[in-house]
Amino acid sequence: MSITDWLLNPTGLTPHGFCLSWAPGLVGLHAASDAVIGLAYFSIPLALASFIGQRRDIQYGWVAYLFVAFIMACGTTHLLAILTLWVPAYGVEGLIKVLTAVLSIVTAALLWPLIPKAVALPSAAQLASLNSQLTTTIEEQARTTALLRESETRVRQSNLELESRVAERTAELLEANLQLTDALAQRDLLLREVYHRVKNNLQTVDGLIVMQARQVVDPEAKKGLLNLRSRIFALGLVHQQLMGSDDLKTFDFAPFLRELSENIVEGGAGSDVTLSVDAVPLNVGLDFAIPLGLLVTELVTNSLKHAFPDGKGAIDVLLQRNDDATVALVVADNGGGGKTAAPANDGRPALGTSIIRGLVAQLKGTMVVRHENGTRSEIHLPAPVTA
């Protein structure tokens, strides 16, 4: 038997219509029923396939295509049932039923595990509720965004106002700073001018003293005028140092001490008296520099007047800092030890001695004088406060 005969006309078999005795009513009823069912079976999967094709967002949509194949196979079995009414094509009908059975088994096997997953999918009501909540959230976010933008606008406006105020205040401060700088410059100029005028006035006084000394015949009076000139020179030198300082308040006492001592020795001794000055840097103000400069003047002058009767010797001037935050001033000579200024006729100390004691007391210091191989005057003073 050929495959065609097996499919369409098996040996010894008769069409299904023979079983119905070829009754027109029964044959027509079966043919019409199977035709309508077959058409419906073909219509349903086509509609289902069209729906799934248009709704790509549906999860597990591939299962629908198994239903499409299964339903179409079922529809085909009904169409073949019409054919077998007149043609004994039972082989073809059996194969289609086998295909339908396979599709139904596969569909059922895949459908059951998907049921819990499909049940877990949110319903339309749940989706509507979620959509409502989402809409509310979006609206709240929109309102929050609007408030944030409004706040940002206010902040920007406040920043602009603040920047404007800061700019105005900065301009005012700059103007005030310029005025203050100008005032400070004028003050510095005024102070320099005052120091300059004081120095010039002291130089004028110095010139007058020199002129007066030339007219004086008495040797003691002449010495007194020359000593006064040394003191005035010390005052003028202080103002000269202040005039050249950066802050117009303080200056380094070390170079001042060297220049002052050299001027006294050069003006009051011969070339055989040597001078040594060793001074540490020390910033001093006007109130400290004047008495200390006068004190050095008196001590060096005393050494020149009383220590070297033969005009030969050495003077050492030392300025150093002590560990106890004090300052030590030492004026020493190698002349005849023990020689000092003679007291006045009434028994009072000489003028130089009185001046030295008064200056030491003014500086709140202590003085020790030793006469060993010369005279050594050692004075300890509180360190100057220049702040």
Q: What is the mean pLDDT of residues 142-163?
A: 92
Average per-residue pLDDT for the chain: 83
Q: What is the pTM of this model?
A: 0.52
The tens digit of pLDDT for each residue in 44-77 reads 888 888 887 887 777 777 777 888 888 888 888 8
The tens digit of pLDDT for each residue in 351-362 reads 788 989 999 999
206's tokens: 């110095």
**pLDDT greater than 80 at residue 270:** no
Alpha-carbon torsion angle 3, 5, 11, 16, nearest 10: 120
Q: What is the pLDDT of residue 7?
A: 61
Return d(Cα 256, Cα 238) in angstroms, integer: 8
Q: What is the pLDDT of residue 47?
A: 85
Q: What is the pLDDT of residue 349?
A: 64
Of 372, 384, 288, 366, the C-alpha closest to 337 is: 372
Give residue 12's pLDDT band: very low, low, confident or very high (50, 70, 90).
low
The number of beta carbons lying within 10 Å of the beta carbon of residue 93 is 20
Of 75, 66, 70, 64, the C-alpha closest to 101 is: 70
Return d(Cα 260, Cα 296) in angstroms, integer: 8
Q: What is the pLDDT of residue 1?
A: 52
Return d(Cα 81, Cα 17) in angstroms, integer: 10
The tens digit of pLDDT for each residue in 278-311 reads 999 999 998 899 899 999 999 998 888 888 888 8
Distances (CA, A) of 43 to 40, 49, 81, 221: 5, 10, 18, 149
132's tokens: 């409502």
3-state helix, strand, coil in the chain (%, to 5): 70, 10, 20
196's tokens: 């300059």
223's tokens: 């010495």
Residue with tokens 């008769």: 14
Return d(Cα 39, Cα 48) in angstroms, integer: 14
